[in-house]
Amino acid sequence: GQNIDQPTEMTATEGAIVQINCTYQTSGFNGLFWYQQHAGEAPTFLSYNVLDGLEEKGRFSSFLSRSKGYSYLLLKELQMKDSASYLCASMDSNYQLIWGAGTKLIIKP
Amino acid sequence: EAQVTQNPRYLITVTGKKLTVTCSQNMNHEYMSWYRQDPGLGLRQIYYSMNVEVTDKGDVPEGYKVSRKEKRNFPLILESPSPNQTSLYFCASSLSGTGDYGYTFGSGTRLTVV
């Protein structure tokens, strides 16, 4: 079956670094997405990885290992506005997205 | 402004009363999709459309209908809503369905069926 696993909730301190992990099992693979979703709002696109390695985009970086079925989202210099849920999604061989349930990130002062 | 517009934002209705949630995008995107989001579950796809007049079932299509008569619009129809369709619904669009352009989501429709 197809499955995405990510932690339900994480807590971090303002100014620190946090890594949110995601493991995936999908029928085929056409890329791994990360989205940010504030409570009650729409998901917004953060990153897309289709090749192995680290992609950096400002304070946010995303890593992919296709052989391990593993990705992480790294958030640096955490700000209070980063408190949100972070959604991991894998695109399968039919170009359909399989979504994880999301990781709720709580930032404390 | 490039966006996906959903209406209404909030809707409370009674069991069995047909309703339509509208979705419109102004980015000339080929691909559009409907999702529902429930606590503790990931986004689940209801229906999607790769282009005009082409629609396909997602993971949870039962009780829903869609149409894609024009590229910009992709309405979601609940012919006879039931309480288990109470959920937060999102419409999304993308330049193509192949993913590398990312998906743009609408603001969501919170539906309550009593």
pLDDT at B11 over 70: yes
Cβ–Cβ pairs < 8 A, chains A and B: 53
Q: Which residues of B touch A30 (CB under 8 A)?
A: 98-99
Per residue in B26-59, pLDDT tens? Answer: 999 999 999 999 988 889 999 999 999 999 999 9
Edge-to-edge strand list for the sheet holding B76-78:
B4-7, B19-25, B76-78, B65-66
According to the model, what pLDDT value does residue B18 have?
97
CA–CA gap between residue B79 and residue B72 (Å, rounded)? 22
Percent of chain B residues topping a pLDDT of 90 = 85
Per residue in A77-99, pLDDT tens? Answer: 999 999 999 999 999 888 888 99
Confidence band (pLDDT; 50, 70, 90) for A26?
confident
According to the model, what pLDDT value does residue B101 have?
72
End-to-end CA distance of chain A: 40
Q: Which residues of B touch A40 (CB under 8 A)?
A: 108
In Å, how far are A33, A99, B17 from A43, measured between CA atoms? Answer: 11, 12, 29
pLDDT at B97 over 80: no
| Mean pLDDT over each residue of chain B, to the nearest integer | 94
Question: Shortest CA distance to B8 belongs to which of B19, B84, B92?
Answer: B19
Question: Shortest CA distance to B67 belongs to which of B96, B43, B34?
Answer: B34
Question: Shortest CA distance to A87 belongs to which of A24, A35, A45, A12?
Answer: A35
pLDDT at A67 over 80: yes
pLDDT at B98 over 80: no
Confidence band (pLDDT; 50, 70, 90) for B100?
low
* Any B CB within 8 A of A41 CB: yes
Cβ–Cβ gap A4/B42 under 8 Å: yes
End-to-end CA distance of chain B: 36
According to the model, what pLDDT value does residue B40 have?
84
